[in-house]
Each structure stands twice: as C-alpha cells, then as structure tokens.
Chains A and B, each alone.
Chain A
C-alpha cells in the first residue's frame, strides 16, 4: 500500500541551528500539506502546495520557516534558526483532487530543540 514517507523520524537540535525535514507524498497526489502539532493539540497547517505552487502559507512563520516543492513531488521544510518553541511533531500529508478527499499522513518528524 502506498504511503507518505518522511525523514528523519526524530531530530534533536540546539536552538539557533538549522534543521530540515523531507516528505515524499503518495505517487500521483498533487496536494501536499505540512502541519505542526504541539503535544496535546490538533495539527496546525503551516503550508499547502498544489503541485509545485504554494496555495496557502499564511500560518508559516516566514522569518524562520521555508518550504519548497520544486518539482511538484517531494518537499522540504526548513527552520533556520530553530527556537525552543519549535519543539513539536511535524506532519506531512498528501491528497488527490486538491484536497477534496481524505488526507494521508506520513509518520511525522518529532523535533526537540534544546
């Protein structure tokens, strides 16, 4: 069964360092999402791509976060510099048809900033 791949699964970094997360969506899924989930809360959308274009990044802290999906397939989310408050689970999801149907999630990257 096709799955969304994410790496790394766990990342520990010191504050002020740069960190990057990678996501490979299910083949053929044009819509890709990055979420941040703080422990005990629901996911918060950071950025949504349709193919290689950003559809919504209104909740992305653009002073330190960046996201790209250059060829409309896999995607990278970067944080530079990392802050203590960035400690969270970062989830990637993909969907067909612009998100009209269910989103399929990867295993997530658990980030700890020390």
Chain B
C-alpha cells in the first residue's frame, strides 16, 4: 500500500537550533518523488523541497535539506538554524509516477521557541 508516515505530531525547538522532521514512505514503485510542504497558520501550502527517487544526491534549498535514505524508505527534512518564522505545519508527500498524484502524511506541527 502507498503510504506516508510522519511520526512526530508536534515538536518544540529552540530558535537557531537545527531540526529534523521525520518522514517514511511505503511504495512498491521504482519511480516516485518526495516533497516537503510548509503550511503556516494562514493556510497556504508552500513548496519547500523535492527529491526524485533516482536522485543520488540529497536535495538542498537554502536552509532546507532532505536526508534521503532509499533503502530505509525515509525522506527526513532538515532545517538548519531555525527561525521563529519556521513555526508551522510541515507535510511530507509522495508523488506516484503512475498517476502524478500526491499521497500526504498527517503532518508535524513545529513550534520554534525564542
């Protein structure tokens, strides 16, 4: 079954510390993509970072990096030097290349403490 699991419902992190948000996925497909989105309290869904299943290097976008461990089927998001504005819900999603639809995790609520 195709599934995304985010095991951390909520996290508190001190400002300026690094934070890792966990994501594991389950699929029998060989070709897929993994995404992380940020959703602030205002509601819009903001694309952060993407990793393709055939990409050998971990994706990075500014302070965001994706720790992709294919054998373990994990795609953790790492935020370096966290900021107060990083407080939000974070969703991991998997795109199936058979239909290009996204399967979403339940999300992790991240709160950055000053």
Contacts and interface: CB of A to CB of B under 8 A. Distances in A.
B68 interface: no
B13 interface: no
29 contacts: A31-B100, A41-B106, A42-B4, A42-B93, A42-B104, A42-B105, A43-B45, A43-B91, A43-B102, A44-B104, A56-B99, A91-B43, A91-B45, A93-B45, A98-B100, A99-B101, A100-B97, A102-B35, A102-B47, A102-B50, A103-B47, A103-B102, A105-B37, A105-B47, A107-B42, A107-B43, A107-B44, A108-B43, A108-B45
A105 B44 contact: yes
A42 B43 CA distance: 12
Nearest to A41: B106
A100 B31 CA distance: 11
Contacts of B47: 102-105
B98 to A, nearest CB: 11
Interface string B55-97: 0000000000000000000000000000000000001010101
A109 B96 CA distance: 27
Contacts of B99: 55-56
Nearest to B92: A42
B11 interface: no
Contact of A42 (B46, B101, B106): B106
A69 interface: no
B67 to A, nearest CB: 19
Nearest to A48: B101
A100 B100 contact: yes
A24 to B, nearest CB: 15
A100 to B, nearest CB: 6
Nearest to B96: A99
A45 to B, nearest CB: 6
A42 to B, nearest CB: 3
